[in-house]
Amino acid sequence: MASLEVEGVTVAYGGNRALDGVGIAAERGRVTGLIGPNGAGKSTLFDVVSGLRRPSSGRVLLDGRDVTRMGPARRARRGLARTFQRLELFGRLSVRDNLLVAAELGPERRRAARAVDEVVDRLGLAGVADQPADALPTGVARLVEVGRALAVRPALLLLDEPAAGQDAAETERFAALLRSLARDGTAVVLVEHDMGLVMSVCDEVHVLDLGKVIAAGPPEVIRNDETVLAAYLGEP
């Protein structure tokens, strides 16, 4: 069963349909890419999935259960975690404390310190663990943001442009991390503009344009899809 199913979701801002009957699915053990030009509706879809925005129609299911009317906290307790396009770290807190605040919100509160140690280890953050977050280069800060989501050991992880600001070596390590999360059984959904990263780590890619899914399939198919190329290049 898919970990996440989105069915016929529509969101309108005034007269503008940010999402128009969108359906996607994401499964455990797989990295699912969500791409599309600026303004396509990717972040709005994450808001709908995480419960920050109620769609005017359509449904969101987590592990087969309809959560469309559930708020963000209840969805988080059901195993959903996300990152934001704009970094949401506490600038004056150390990396470790940023992770701890997140871990303590998770279901395994009593084991928060251990969860933090695991995240520091897994993301290679030991060298910066005691530094304040606002002293970090953007690429490392992005990794801490991902670490905050991982600290609750999510079953479904939504990542909104996690590689923005990472250099080539950081992105390569990040790709390996995404694959290892999928191997451990996490359902990962990746919104990302770095096409090299998307095409190398995703098992499946959904393409949004002007609020509609215009293509879905494995990276090798999406890469050569004429509709997708036209959406990005702005010509048929």
Ligand X SMILES: Nc1ncnc2c1ncn2[C@@H]1O[C@H](COP(=O)(O)OP(=O)(O)OP(=O)(O)O)[C@@H](O)[C@H]1O
Contacts to ligand X by CB under 6 A: 13, 16, 18, 36, 38-44, 85
| 5 token code pair | 């199913």
3-state secondary structure the chain: CCCEEEEEEEEEECCEEEEEEEEEEECCCCEEEEECCCCCCHHHHHHHHHCCCCCCEEEEEECCEECCCCCHHHHHHCCEEECCCCCCCCCCCEHHHHHHHHHHHCCCHHHHHHHHHHHHHHHCCHHHCCCEHHHCCHHHHHHHHHHHHHCCCCCEEEEECCCCCCCHHHHHHHHHHHHHHHHCCCEEEEECCCHHHHHHHCCEEEEEECCEEEEEECHHHHCCCHHHHHHHHCCC
Return d(Cα 35, Cα 214) in angstroms, integer.
10
First to last CA, the chain: 37
CB of 160 to ligand X, least distance (A): 8
Smaller CB distance to ligand X: residue 39 or 72? 39
Smaller CB distance to ligand X: residue 38 or 224? 38
CB of 166 to ligand X, least distance (A): 17
CB of 80 to ligand X, least distance (A): 18
Smaller CB distance to ligand X: residue 43 or 186? 43
CB of 124 to ligand X, least distance (A): 27
CB of 128 to ligand X, least distance (A): 27
Smaller CB distance to ligand X: residue 42 or 153? 42
CB of 16 to ligand X, least distance (A): 6
Smaller CB distance to ligand X: residue 151 or 191? 191
Smaller CB distance to ligand X: residue 6 or 123? 6
